[in-house]
Amino acid sequence: MQRQPDDSTPSPVEKLVASRDRATRNATRILAESQQRIIDAELRMTRNVLLRAARADRHAIGFLAPDFLAVADLPTLYRAILDATATFSDATSVDLLLYDQPAEALRIVAQRGFASDFLASFGLLDIRHPTACTTAFTSGGPVLVDDVGTSPIFARQSTRDTLLAAGSRAVQSYPLPASDGTVLGVLSFHHPGPRPTSGKAALIARSAALALGGVLPHSSTGGAPNREARPT
């Protein structure tokens, strides 16, 4: 029986064309990756420039500037929010928590002034566990604790001792609502002693909520379902 030629075997010309096409695709990919690296570097530079400008403006909440929000990624926005708390409030420490929907918990995404012991206890908080920040999140309103040592929120809770050991005697926790009322997380201000309610802290929290609502996709946190934030 005569053997039929194998039509599936590429001819020399077809091999040459395929090789040329692969080389063209590789060259296009390398060029695109190179261009993307340049764009990423320029974007990082722009973010840093705008972050420095936001820090330098001591008369306005700089992270609300449209130019900043247009290019800010989440880590840059977190830093800008913490910078604002250092500039416009007298809190000795601050933590920014966002809702982690799969864990049904608040997760610290940025903080200043806290050591590892505090973060080990408060880094991920079940929203059913009573603290100032989880209460602010679930209620949709600010929670202002003048004295952690005597507050009923922390009665018989191990978190009370952790807060006091961290130098937090008073805490002001503000929910961060998106424009549709979904609570994205909480911003908490901590003080070594009793403090009157700070209008500046409330302003920073409202500004942080506005900025996060524009940058943070609701689907990434889930938010607190069916809860309207109460006015601060």
Give tens-digit pLDDT for 127-156. 998 899 999 999 999 999 999 989 999 888
Domain covering 89-221 in this structure, CATH number = 3.30.450.40
In the predicted structure, residue 171 carries a pLDDT above the cut 90: yes
Give tens-digit pLDDT for 212-222. 987 776 445 55
Model confidence at 114, in pLDDT bands (50, 70, 90)? Answer: very high
pLDDT of residue 229: 45
In the predicted structure, residue 231 carries a pLDDT above the cut 90: no
pLDDT of residue 232: 43
**Residue 223 exposure: Cα atoms within 13 Å on the Cβ side:** 23
Rg of the chain taking only CA atoms, in angstroms: 26
Outline where 5-131 has alpha helix (H): 12-56, 66-71, 74-88, 116-122
Segment 96-116 mean pLDDT: 94
Is the separation of the CB atoms in 187 and 212 below 8 Å? Answer: no
176 or 37, which is more confident: 176
**Least confidently predicted of 141-145, 178-182, 225-229:** 225-229
Q: What is the Cα–Cα distance from 189 to 108, expressed in whole angstroms?
A: 13
In the predicted structure, residue 86 carries a pLDDT above the cut 60: yes
**Residue 10: Cβ-neighbour burial (10 angstroms; 0-12, 13-18, 19+):** exposed
218 or 119, which is more confident: 119
pLDDT of residue 22: 76
Is the separation of the CB atoms in 141 and 230 below 8 Å? Answer: yes
Segment 5-10 mean pLDDT: 66
Segment 112-123 mean pLDDT: 89
- Exposure string (b/e) for 63-96, b if CB count within 10 Å is 16 or more? bbbeebbeebeeebbbbbbbbbbebbbebbbbbb
Is the separation of the CB atoms in 38 and 180 below 8 Å? Answer: no
Is the separation of the CB atoms in 204 and 114 below 8 Å? Answer: no
Tell me which DSSP letter residue 28 carries.
Answer: H
In the predicted structure, residue 56 carries a pLDDT above the cut 60: no
pLDDT of residue 210: 86
Q: In the chain, what are the domain boundaries?
A: 11-72, 89-221
CB-based contacts of 115: which residues, under 8 Å, 6+ apart?
166
Q: What is the Cα–Cα distance from 117 to 165, expressed in whole angstroms?
A: 9
Q: What is the Cα–Cα distance from 99 to 231, expressed in whole angstroms?
A: 20
102 or 222, which is more confident: 102
Is pTM, for the whole model, over 0.95?
A: no
% the chain with pLDDT above 90: 33
Segment 81-107 mean pLDDT: 91
Report the chain's mean pLDDT, rounded to a whole number.
78
**Residue 214: Cβ-neighbour burial (10 angstroms; 0-12, 13-18, 19+):** middle
Is the separation of the CB atoms in 106 and 137 below 8 Å? Answer: yes
